[in-house]
Amino acid sequence: MAGLGAGRTTVIDLHTPVPSDRGGFLGACWRWRTELVASFAIWLVWIHIGLTLLLITLAALVVLVLAIAPVRRRALARLACTVMRHRLYALFHADRLHNRRGQVPLILSVRPTPTGSQAVLWCRPGICVDDLTTRMEEIAAACWARTSRITRSIRFAHVVTIEIVRRDPLAAAHLIPSPLAGGPRPDPTDPATAFHDVEAAEAAIPLLTLIPGQRVGPEDGAGNGEPDVA
């Protein structure tokens, strides 16, 4: 019996694609937590004030958000974070960024930044920051961004930060045209302008020298360079 059991081996096929695991009901609730909370809040308001007042309140909120610039920017930033979370999960499943169990990285949080959005990921066993770094262009394309930056936590290797860059805050919003841009430009082939009548130009007369006794004024002539005798 021992000899028969010792001869058995387990074969693991590393080339067969493993389907990604979406986490079931709990995974879906975690991915759609923002939408679920918003829907639950709207349902509670609907119960208390009715459908008519709910529609009026939602319309007033939409008008206020669109009319006030700071509120509009903040709302659009939060909406971009929600879209980024779903786009990252879609990329993980489409690009097979998962371990042998089919588990994809877990997105802990997404928050807006001055340049775009920033997501904090929890890498499952079998996934590291190098797996994400090799897909920087795919991540930027999936999130409709300029580029992406991926950094690892100094303390924990499994915590990875993905920064999505959508805009440059230092770029000039309005370009001021220069009046000199349309003017004539010098020809580099022309020789440089030279001084004419160099011989006729007056020699520069030094007014002061380093030694006070050797001062020469314009009325004293060129001087002999010897100190004055008191």
pLDDT at 96: 86
List CB contacts of 20: < 8 A, sequence separation 6 or more.
Answer: 92, 93, 96, 98, 102, 103, 104
pLDDT at 98: 85
List CB contacts of 18: < 8 A, sequence separation 6 or more.
Answer: 96, 98, 100, 101, 102
pLDDT at 82: 92
Tens digit of each residue's pLDDT (9 = 90 or more) over 142-195: 999 899 999 999 999 999 999 999 887 676 555 666 666 666 666 666 655 544
Label residue 88 by pLDDT band (50, 70, 90).
Answer: very high
Tens digit of each residue's pLDDT (9 = 90 or more) over 116-148: 999 999 999 989 999 999 999 999 999 998 999
Label residue 203 by pLDDT band (50, 70, 90).
Answer: low
pLDDT at 9: 57
pLDDT at 189: 65
Tens digit of each residue's pLDDT (9 = 90 or more) over 8-45: 555 545 555 666 667 778 888 888 888 999 999 999 98
pLDDT at 2: 46
Secondary structure letter of residue 218 according to DSSP: G
* Assessment of whether the complete model's pTM goes beyond 0.85: no
What's the token pair of residue 94?
């489409």
pLDDT at 50: 86
pLDDT at 27: 82
**Backbone Cα Rg of the chain:** 37
- HEC profile for 147-158? EEEEEECCCCCC
Tens digit of each residue's pLDDT (9 = 90 or more) over 95-119: 888 888 888 999 999 999 988 999 9
Domain ranges in the chain are 20-165
